[in-house]
Every structure is written in C-alpha cells, then in structure tokens.
Amino acid sequence: MTGKRISGIVFRMALFLGLLAGICLAAGCKASDSLPAQPSQEDLIVVGFSQVGAESDWRNANTISMQEALSPQNGYRLILEDAQQKQEKQITSIRNFINQGVDYIVLAPTTETGWDTVLTEARNAQIPVIIVDRMIETEDTSLFTCWVGSDFLKEGTTAVQWMEENLREEPLKIVHLQGNLGSSAQLGRTRGLEQGLQKHTDWEVVFRAPGDFTQAKGQELMETVLEEGLEFNVIYSENDNMTYGAIEALQSAGIEPGKDVTIISFDASSTALHMLLEGKITYDVECNPLHGPRVQAIIEELEAQKPFSKYTYVEETSFDRSNTTEQLIESRGY
C-alpha cells in the first residue's frame, strides 16, 4: 500500500468519526450511553477474600463463583488472596486487608482453630468478617458477622447411610482418604464415618491418611495401599480430587474402580459425576461451592442494615447411577 493511499484512508476515517461525533453532539448523547452504567472506583464496595487455595475442582468453582458475584459490574472490588492451604498465609492476608481498610473481609478458613487473635484485630478495626465454606471454632462468636457453608457431618452421615443400605453383603474393609486435618470438611466427613464404624462391627478401616484434598496426594496414598498389599473393598475419599488420584492408581494396578471396589466420594463436581456415569465412582455426596451470590446477598443485607441470619447451611443432595443423567450434570454449573 502506498503512503498516499494510507493517508487517504486515514483522512476518510477521521471524516467519518468527525461526522459521528457531530451527530452525537446534535442528538445530545454521550459516549457511555450505549454501555451499562459502571459504578466509579470510589463507589465500589471493597472485599478482601482469603481463599484456602486451588487444591480442587470444588475450590476452583468456589473462586469463580465469588469473582463473578463480587464483580465491578455488581458494585464490588474483590481482592482475592490464595493461601495455598496455609493458615499463616491467611492470617497475613487478613492483616493486609485490615491495613488496606477494606469494607468487608471474607474468610474461607483452612482449619477451624487459631483465628481469635487476627479476628479480634479485624473487629477492632470494625471490619465485618463473613466466614464461608468451612467453619471456625471460637468461644466468641462476635468475632465474625455470619457464616455460610455446608453441613459436613450431614454429608458424612449421608454417605454412611447409603453404605448401610447398599453394601450389606460382605464385611467392609475401608480405605479412608481424609482431607486436610482440622478442616471442617475433613472433621465432619470423618466423624460421619466414625459413627458408622461404631454401629457396624463388620466395618473396618484398613488404611487411613490425610491426602490434603489433592489429586496427587490421593494417588500417592492409594499407591501406598497397593504396595502394602492391603485388602479392601471400599474407598471412602473425602473429596473428588483425591478420588481421581486413587482411581489412577487403581487403574495402573489393573483394578477396576467401581467394579472391583466401591468408591464413595464427596463434592459431586461435574468431572466426578461423569466418572459416576461411567461406573468408576459409585456414590458421590454433593457439596455446593456456589457461595458467591450468597455472600453478595449477605453484604447487600448488611449495607441496607436489614436483618440477616448468623448461620446459613446450603441445601445439598447426593448421587448414584439411579439419579444421575448427562442432562442433570450439565444443568448444575459446577
């Protein structure tokens, strides 16, 4: 293209834009008229969110849900900090949020204990703290404004009830893969199984270890079980990602998951439900990660000084082959 031709095009574009601006001016319109109104930076509600990590499908769905709900379009500036499953990192993040003077702190706590000091600092700074997902253990419940999450003991007892109803024929030799120790999700799901073990003398745990809710650790633990030559007919895995790892290990050893061994899992993320349809996972207890809109609703209530509930448990269900379809998986959003 010649220089002359380029300058011709530039000239015509400038003329077109000039005309457009002229029409706009005459019609009294602004550049922003066609766009939805965006709240200005100063109007945004600033939320510091200390997230556990990125250890699982559940966690990733939870992070996305929070980002989508607490977005600039909805009037929020979200400061997201990933703690890589370490409580010390969360404590540092909360102190940073306090220093930055955020409007709200949202905490998804790694473990239940050890929060009193830092949450007292947040209370002294008059920053409301909303706890999501797992719970904290404290004598002083005024240290947090409210909590929203799952009933993890109920999830455990749901799994045990299914085992009682569906695995009656033989004594159960259970491999128990735990989540990271001291987290509500681990404590509740483990307690549920413990209660089942107390009721059933022919149920036995042949192996139990924490796999930190990750696929890599789930696989590693299952490889150990296989190397040790332990006998088992049930895997009770406290989340889907550890289950994926365990399934890898079983398949590499020529054991058919779901057929040679019953697999009980938690979360019911879409990948896991597809595995359930393929027959690899036998039963999956749902844990709902979509807390973003719930936290948004809580903040809106607080902003409007409306009454709100201190504790909100989310509705959850469970899945086996009898109630799972491709259509249902697609409709769930995680």
Residues at the interface with ligand GYE (CB under 6 A): 55-56, 58-59, 133-134, 150, 185, 213, 239, 266-267, 287
CB of 231 to ligand GYE, least distance (A): 28
CB of 239 to ligand GYE, least distance (A): 4
Looking at the Cβ atoms of 44 and 179, the one nearer to ligand GYE is 179
CB of 61 to ligand GYE, least distance (A): 9
CB of 94 to ligand GYE, least distance (A): 18
Looking at the Cβ atoms of 145 and 215, the one nearer to ligand GYE is 215
CB of 60 to ligand GYE, least distance (A): 9
CB of 213 to ligand GYE, least distance (A): 4
- Alpha-carbon span 299 to 308, nearest angstrom: 10
Backbone angles phi, psi at 202, to 5 degrees: -95, 15
DSSP H or E segment with residue 136 = none
Count of C-beta atoms within a 10 Å radius of residue 38: 12
Strands 76-82 and 104-107, by their bridges, are unpaired
Looking at the Cβ atoms of 45 and 129, the one nearer to ligand GYE is 129
Looking at the Cβ atoms of 267 and 284, the one nearer to ligand GYE is 267
Q: On the CB side of 42, how many CA atoms lie within 13 Å of its CA?
A: 0
Strand-by-strand arrangement of the 203-210 sheet: 203-210, 172-178, 234-237, 262-267, 283-286, 318-319
CB of 263 to ligand GYE, least distance (A): 15
Which of 216, 279, 274, 208 has the alpha carbon at shortest distance from 242? 216
CB of 69 to ligand GYE, least distance (A): 18
Which of 164, 169, 123 has the alpha carbon at shortest distance from 145? 123
Looking at the Cβ atoms of 123 and 274, the one nearer to ligand GYE is 274
Q: Which residues, including other chains, have CB under 8 Å from residue 329's CB and lie 6 or more apart?
A: 270, 273, 274, 277
Residue 177 and residue 238 in contact, taking contact as beta carbons nearer than 8 Å: yes
Looking at the Cβ atoms of 145 and 184, the one nearer to ligand GYE is 184
E strand spans, 250-306: 262-267, 283-286
CB of 319 to ligand GYE, least distance (A): 15
Which of 45, 39, 34 has the alpha carbon at shortest distance from 70? 45
Looking at the Cβ atoms of 44 and 269, the one nearer to ligand GYE is 269
Give first-to-last CA distance, the chain, whole Å. 51
Apex CA 296: angle with CA 295 and CA 297, to 5°? Answer: 90
Looking at the Cβ atoms of 58 and 115, the one nearer to ligand GYE is 58
- Alpha-carbon span 100 to 146, nearest angstrom: 22
Looking at the Cβ atoms of 45 and 237, the one nearer to ligand GYE is 237
